[in-house]
Structure 1
């Protein structure tokens, strides 16, 4: 695993630690949002790694990296994403569709009028090009195919921000922020606002409580891997060893609130499964 000091803002742990930091959380979230959406924000409620479970244990849930509720305004979800496997990239549009659906379903009370459904913006910040067109900003909204100029506003917006994108003409501050998020070093903090932001990121990395939390996270992952191996050995034969390890890795990972992608990564590294097999195993043993 990476050292904390070597982490970038596209790494889940550092992003979560920054946005929930008592001193710097609100300021850092506002800076990112104002760069990305180019407007000021009022009162915000920020929930790191908010989980929305499925309707029952057999249904899929989601864990959002940064869930932001602008009181009396929009709901915004920020998803830093480095999962550049072929299957992951192909699934991004459907993943985005599912995130919108889960957020909407959680924010309309029974009997409430559809006109009260709030605007939702889902923002993916990716270190890979999700659509292969080398754009830094892809803005996606629903529209009428036959009448492309026909007004159709359902309140759903999706932004895909590719940190290495070359095409398009996004604001300079946004370009600088996205480059910085992928490689969060002082040399990439090229504007006055970004220098202030980098100071906050550095302070969070050097915060003792954050360091202890990261050490705990590392120990938990080590425990998941080791206990998964031990459980597999106790099964007593080759297939049993593999199945036992998979089951224990999934069980312990769920216990310690690991995300689906984190569990899949551990399965890939510890069991020899392919990516599709790891995803199937996660569904089977969750």
Structure 2
């Protein structure tokens, strides 16, 4: 069925209205191909006003011949050829520091063709926007750079940059704080930046916009079904009258999942 022919229920529309930019599925829809939004985002995070984005894609796949492929939430390029990967992570474990390292290495590998000189590598930025302060130092932003240990720390200048943005630090007096506030807004009219509020309003308040989010709505439906099945399974486990196999059969969840729930219940 074509996306424009999908019939959205009232429940679907309510799910869409509850989405925020910190929800990665919604964020990737809003930023896909949206140069103005990506440019605003990067200029604020990097504390610049001169960065010009020339291309932006969401859900970009970087393939590895021997290792693990990566799906990038946002992958942007500026007029200087610098590459930017922006990831939103609500779960702390999704923002593991070695994940940032791996993303950076995959972006580097994607830049060079066979025979290219290593000097042709452009700078790359891996930026994690996290719901919580995963670094635990109560700062709004963390900039990670390599340094040389020699009578102090000298910049290594290899062109790799890793940044963590603490989404819980929403200081209203700063541009970054206003941006993070926008990432947690459910209502477009409450957002600070027009580039973001206009985009959010299109996808959340117009039927045309909502209908283009078929995959997101399907994902939300699946999450809703999984939540209902999990709640049902927990009720059956609480009765202590059914075997784990029976709970799995009646709830529609896997036996492995039921064992996990049973373990959590007794922990």
TM-score, length-scaled by structure 1:
0.68
C-alpha spacing 1:154/1:273, structure 2 compared with 1 (3 Å): farther
| 1:67 equivalent in structure 2 | 75
Deviations 1:5-47 (A, max 9, x none): 11111112221221126xxx22212211221121323351111
Correspondence 1:59-208 to 2 at 5 A? 59-84=67-92, 88=93, 92-165=96-169, 172-186=174-188, 188-190=190-192, 194-208=193-207
How much has 1:101 moved relative to structure 2?
0.7
How much has 1:171 moved relative to structure 2?
7.6
| 2:6 equivalent in structure 1 | none
Structure 2 unpaired stretches of 5+: 1-11, 230-243, 262-267
Q: Max radius of gyration: which structure?
A: 2
C-alpha spacing 1:219/1:165, structure 2 compared with 1 (3 Å): closer
C-alpha spacing 1:125/1:43, structure 2 compared with 1 (3 Å): closer
Q: Which 4+ stretches in 1 moved above 6 angstroms?
A: 223-226
Q: For residues 195 and 133 of structure 1, what CA distance do their matches in structure 2 show?
A: 31
Q: Which has the higher contact order (CA 8 A, sep 6+)?
A: 2
Number of equivalenced pairs = 227
Instruction: State the secondary structure of the residue aligned to 2:77.
Output: strand
Structure 1 unpaired stretches of 5+: 230-236, 247-266, 276-286
Q: For residues 184 and 27 of structure 1, what CA distance do their matches in structure 2 show?
A: 20
> Is the CA contact (8 Å cut-off) linking 2:29 and 2:213 kept in structure 1?
no
